[in-house]
Amino acid sequence: MIMVLVVALVGAAAVYKWQEAQTPPQQYREVRVERGDISFTILSTGTVGPERQLDIKAPIAGRAEEILAEEGQSVKKGDLLAWVSSSERAALLDAAQAKGAAERNKWKEFYRPTPVMAPVSGTIIQRNVETGQTFTTADAIFVLSDRLVVKAQVDEVDIAHVKLGQRARITLDAYGDQPFDGKVSKVAFDAALVNNVTTYIVEVLPDKVPPFMRSGMTANVRFTILEKKDVLLVSSDAISYSGETRSVLLKPARPEAKPEQQVVELGISDGKQTEVLSGLRGGELLLIPDVDFSKSGAAGGSPFAPSRRR
């Protein structure tokens, strides 16, 4: 019985030693603790649209004699946009035309057309009537936008971080390589339910509206909540979490020594890097364990297992 137990113990020890020999040493990649700048941001999506939109209608029903403004054109308050005729003037001119050009010109001088002027400065985003078309007083001849903004949908869990005047970076889906900056001009008080998520509309006014920006475009807006400069930063991959404790693995000064866990206090993070408030001085080398999932279940069994036929 004792002999059997001894043999079993020796066999177990041999298996353990073999498995230990088969296990490759842990590989690490090194990152250095450095000083740098970091910011905490919130990313939201939205669409481009006019801050205020105005329908420009003629004071009379009738016919458009001459349309002078084009879509996309910037106009100032008081600019002439179109000449229109009332239904009565249009009928008179048509009747005079039947009597000859001289008769028509006489009535044109006697019965002048009505001008349509820009009530405010802005950009023509729609032209709904062409020369010769008829319209009523309910029809908008033009639609005028004073300025374009991005209307971003911000989740209710993030809305407390967004303030008037806050800086933001705007990236249009159609022009992803040409981001531009802006600031928060309006934060809605009334919530909207989007895909069962409570959101608030935040309007972001570009510092300078790029020429390629169009109403209806999809945009991504990154709000800068907090910025810190010249602080200690570590790779977020180097941080270990155990309950409330946060730590990093320090590379030992001597090759034969073992790495040591160092408890740290953390600040803000941008996902890739994290601020270190205490526990490190800067310049230290940290170790990040490499995980090679391709070696899981590797070939090579126990030397005591029976061989398999191929």
User: 185 with 244, same domain?
Assistant: no
User: 158 with 45, same domain?
Assistant: yes
Residue 171 has pLDDT above 80, yes or no: yes
Domain containing residue 126: CATH number? 2.40.50.100
- Arithmetic mean of pLDDT over the chain: 84
Residue 251 is given by DSSP the state P
Please give the Cα distance from 277 to 267 (Å, whole number): 6
Residue 10 has pLDDT above 90, yes or no: no
Residue 110: which pLDDT band, with cuts at 50, 70 and 90? Answer: low
User: For residue 15, is it within any domain?
Assistant: no
User: For residue 14, is it within any domain?
Assistant: no
* Angle (CA) 135 140 145, round 5°: 155
Of the three residues 123, 145, 167, the one that is the final residue of a domain is 145
User: For residue 300, is it within any domain?
Assistant: no
CA-only gyration radius of the chain, Å = 36
Its domain, for residue 30, covers 26-38+229-291
pLDDT reported for residue 106:
61
Tens digits of per-residue pLDDT, 197-244? 999 999 999 999 998 999 899 999 999 999 999 999 999 999 999 999
Of the three residues 228, 248, 269, the one that is the final residue of a domain is 228
User: 63 with 87, same domain?
Assistant: yes
| Contact yes or no for 144/52 (Cβ under 8 A) | no
Of the three residues 228, 257, 282, the one that is the final residue of a domain is 228
pLDDT reported for residue 143:
94
| Contact yes or no for 212/72 (Cβ under 8 A) | no
CB atoms under 10 Å from CB of 93, counted, come to: 19
Residue 16: which pLDDT band, with cuts at 50, 70 and 90? Answer: low
User: For residue 65, is it within any domain?
Assistant: yes
The two three-digit tokens of residue 16, written as one number: 């353990």
Residue 29: which pLDDT band, with cuts at 50, 70 and 90? Answer: confident
